[in-house]
Structure 1
Amino acid sequence: MDAASPYLYIAPFFVIFAVFGLFPTLFTFYVALFDWNPIGGQTFIGLENFTKLYGDPRFWNALRNTFSIWILSTVPQLLFALFLAQLLNHARLKFANFFRMAMLVPYITSVVATTIVFASLFGRDYGLINFVLGWFGIENIDFEASTLGSHVLIATMVMWRWFGYNTLIYLAALQAIPRDIYEAAAIDGAGGFKQFIFVTIPSLRPVIIFTVIVSTIGGLQIFTEPLLLSAPGLTGGSGRQFQTLTLFLYEQGFGNFEFGYGSAIGVVLFLLIVAFSLINFFLSRRISSDE
Structure 2
Amino acid sequence: MAGVARDATAAAPSEREDGTAAYPAPPGARGGDHGREGRDERERERRRRWHRRDLRWSPYAFVAPFFLFFAVFGLFPLLYTGWASLHRVELTSPDDMEWVGLGNFSRLLRDDFFWNALQNTVTIGLLSTVPQLLIALGIAQLLNYRLRGSMFFRVAVLTPYATSVAAATLVFVLLFGRDHGMINWGLGLAGFDAVDWQNGTWTSQLAVSTIVVWRWTGYNALIYLAAMQSIPHELYESAALDGASRRQQFLHVTLPSLRPTILFTCVVSTIGATQLFGEPLLFNGGAGATGGSDHQFQTLGLYLYEQGWVNLHLGRASAIAWSMFLILLIIGAVNWLVARRLRRSS
The structure with the larger Rg is 2
Q: Which residue is 1:58 aligned to?
A: 113
Q: Which residue is 1:254 aligned to?
A: 309
Equivalences for 1:63-212 in 2 at 5 Å?
63-91=118-146, 93-212=147-266
The structural deviation recorded for 1:9 is 3.0
CA distance in 2, matches of 1:284, 1:13: 29
Is 2:77 aligned against 1:20?
A: no
CA change 1:110–1:4 in 2 (3 A) is closer
What secondary structure, in the 3-state scheme, does the structure 1 residue paired with 2:59 have? helix
Query: Aligned-pair RMSD on alpha carbons?
Result: 1.2
Q: Which moved more, 1:110-119 or 1:234-243?
A: 110-119
What secondary structure, in the 3-state scheme, does the structure 2 residue paired with 1:36 have? strand
Q: Which moved more, 1:96-105 or 1:14-23?
A: 14-23
The structural deviation recorded for 1:137 is 2.6
Is 2:65 aligned against 1:31?
A: no
| TM-score in terms of structure 1 length | 0.96
CA distance in 2, matches of 1:64, 1:38: 27
Is 2:97 aligned against 1:42?
A: yes
The structural deviation recorded for 1:8 is 3.0
What secondary structure, in the 3-state scheme, does the structure 2 residue paired with 1:103 have? helix
CA distance in 2, matches of 1:89, 1:7: 41
CA distance in 2, matches of 1:135, 1:193: 36
What secondary structure, in the 3-state scheme, does the structure 1 residue paired with 2:82 have? helix
The structural deviation recorded for 1:37 is 1.2
| TM-score in terms of structure 2 length | 0.81
The structural deviation recorded for 1:274 is 1.2
CA distance in 1, matches of 2:173, 2:61: 50
Unaligned runs of 5+ in 2: 1-52
CA distance in 2, matches of 1:124, 1:8: 57
TM-superposition CA deviations, 1:168-196 (whole Å, max 9, x none): 00011111111110000111111111110
CA change 1:65–1:180 in 2 (3 A) is same
CA distance in 1, matches of 2:233, 2:111: 55
TM-superposition CA deviations, 1:75-101 (whole Å, max 9, x none): 00000000000001111x222111011
Amino acid paired to 1:220: T
CA distance in 2, matches of 1:9, 1:46: 41
Identity %: 51
Is 2:246 aligned against 1:213?
A: no
Q: Which residue is 2:5 aligned to?
A: none
What secondary structure, in the 3-state scheme, does the structure 2 residue paired with 1:234 have? helix
Equivalences for 1:208-287 in 2 at 5 Å?
208-232=262-286, 233-287=288-342
Q: Which moved more, 1:231-240 or 1:170-179?
A: 231-240
Q: Which residue is 1:6 aligned to?
A: 59
CA distance in 2, matches of 1:17, 1:289: 35
Amino acid paired to 1:141: V
CA distance in 2, matches of 1:125, 1:213: 38
What secondary structure, in the 3-state scheme, does the structure 2 residue paired with 1:238 have? coil
The structural deviation recorded for 1:223 is 0.2
What secondary structure, in the 3-state scheme, does the structure 2 residue paired with 1:141 have? coil
- Give every structure 1 segment of 4 or more consecutive aligned residues whose post-TM-superposition deviation is greater than 6 Å: none
